[in-house]
Amino acid sequence: MRHGGDEISNRQKAAILLISLGPEVAANVYKHLREEEIEQLTLEIATLRKVESEDRNNILQEFHDLAIAEEYISQGGIEYAKEILQKALGSERAISILEKLTATLQVRPFEFARKASAAQILSFIQNEHPQTIALVLSYLDAKQAAAILSELPQPLRSDVARRVAKMDATSPDVVNSIERMLENKLASTTMVDTTSVGGLDAIVQIINDVDRATERSIMETLEVSDPQLAEEIKKKMFVFEDIVMLDNRAIQRVVRDIEQNDLILALRTASEDVREVIFKNLSKRMVETFKEEMEYAGPVRLRDVEEAQQRIVAQIRRLEDMGEIVVARGGGDDVLV
C-alpha cells in the first residue's frame, strides 16, 4: 500500500484509521492505550496531510479483516479462523491476514479448553502425569482450575498444586504436544514462545477459589512435604488489604481480638478502602483516637507495619478455622443460609 510514494507504516495506518473513525471513537480508543502509544499516535495524526480515499478505504478494510479474524480465533483457535477465512476470502488473503494478526497477537495456548467445562477437562487429564495436569491448570482461568483441582484425589491434588507453584518457563514443544493431546485442531507452534506460567501467584489464585476443605487438605500436605512453599503460599493467600471482603460482623469479631497498637500500625500503609471499612466498625471515640495517633506518631519501620498486618491476617485465618468468621471463597462452602 502506497501513500505519497512511500509505504504506509503501521503507525500511519493507525493514525488514518482513528481519523476515519471520528473523534469520539478515537477518544475511546485512547483510553486503552499506554501514554507512549498516545504520544506516538498523536504525533502521527498531527503530521498527516492529505490521505487518498483509496488508501483510507484499504486501511479500513484491513482493520475490518483483522477484527473479524481475531473474533474467529477467539471462537475456535487459529485453525478454525484459517478455515473460515479461506472459504470466505481465499487461501492467499486468509494467510496474509492471519500473518499480520499473529505478528502482534499472542494466542494463549489451550484457548479451546477455557471454553469447556471443568468436568470435561478433568476427564481428559485426570490420568495424566501430575506435571501435565499442572501445566494445563496453569493456562486455565483460576475458577476453572480450582474446580478441577478440587476433584483430584489426594495426594495427587497437593502434588499438582506444588508443581503449579514451582513451574517455570516451559518449552513450546511440550506445550504444543499437550495441547494437541486435548485438542488436535489447535497445534500452531508459531504462536508460542518460551512461556512462563504457574508460579506462586497462579497457585494462590487457584487455591483461593477452591472450597475451604480442599484448601486445608492441600496446605496440610504441603506443610509436610514442602513447608517453605506452604509458608510462602500462606503469606499470599489472604493479604491485609483483603479485609475489605469481610462483612461488618466478621470485622468486628477480628478487631475484638487484635492489639490496638497492631491495628494502628497496620493502618499506616492501608488503602482508604481498608481504613474506611475498619473505621466503620469502631466507635467514634476509637476512630478519633486512631486518627490522632496516626497523625502525630513519628515514623515507623515498614517492616514493623508489615509484621503487624501479618499478625492480623494470621488471626483472621485462625478465626476462620474456628468457624467464627467467614472468608468469601469460590468453592461454594461459604454460602450462608
Residues 228 and 223: their CA atoms lie apart, in Å, by 8
Say what the pLDDT of residue 331 is.
43
Residues 133 and 126: their CA atoms lie apart, in Å, by 7
Lowest mean pLDDT among 63-77, 116-130, 131-145, 245-259: 63-77
Residues 146 and 215: their CA atoms lie apart, in Å, by 10
Widest distance between CA atoms in the chain: 76
Band (47; pLDDT cuts 50, 70, 90): low
Q: 85-98 b/e with 16+ CB inside 10 Å = b? A: beeebeeeebeebb
Tell me if 199 sits within 8 A of 139, measured CB to CB. Answer: no
Residue type, 64: H
For 95, the enclosing helix (H) or strand (E) is helix 91-102
User: β-strand 2-3 against 169-170: which pairing, if any?
Assistant: unpaired
Residues 278 and 243: their CA atoms lie apart, in Å, by 8
Sign of CA dihedral 224, 226, 232, 234: negative
Q: Which CATH number fits domain 238-321: 3.30.10.20, 1.10.1370.40, 1.10.260.40, 1.10.220.30?
A: 1.10.220.30
Domain ranges in the chain with CATH number 1.10.220.30: 113-234, 238-321
Say what the pLDDT of residue 145 is.
86
Kindly report the CATH number that applies to the domain delimited by 113-234: 1.10.220.30
- 273-317 residue pLDDT tens: 999 999 999 999 988 988 888 877 778 888 888 888 888 988 888
- 200-243 residue pLDDT tens: 777 777 776 666 677 777 888 888 888 888 888 877 777 788 88
CB proximity list for 290: less than 8 A, separation 6 or greater: 263, 264, 267, 279, 282
Instruction: Tally the C-alpha atoms within 13 A of residue 28's C-alpha that lie toward its C-beta.
Output: 4
Band (80; pLDDT cuts 50, 70, 90): low
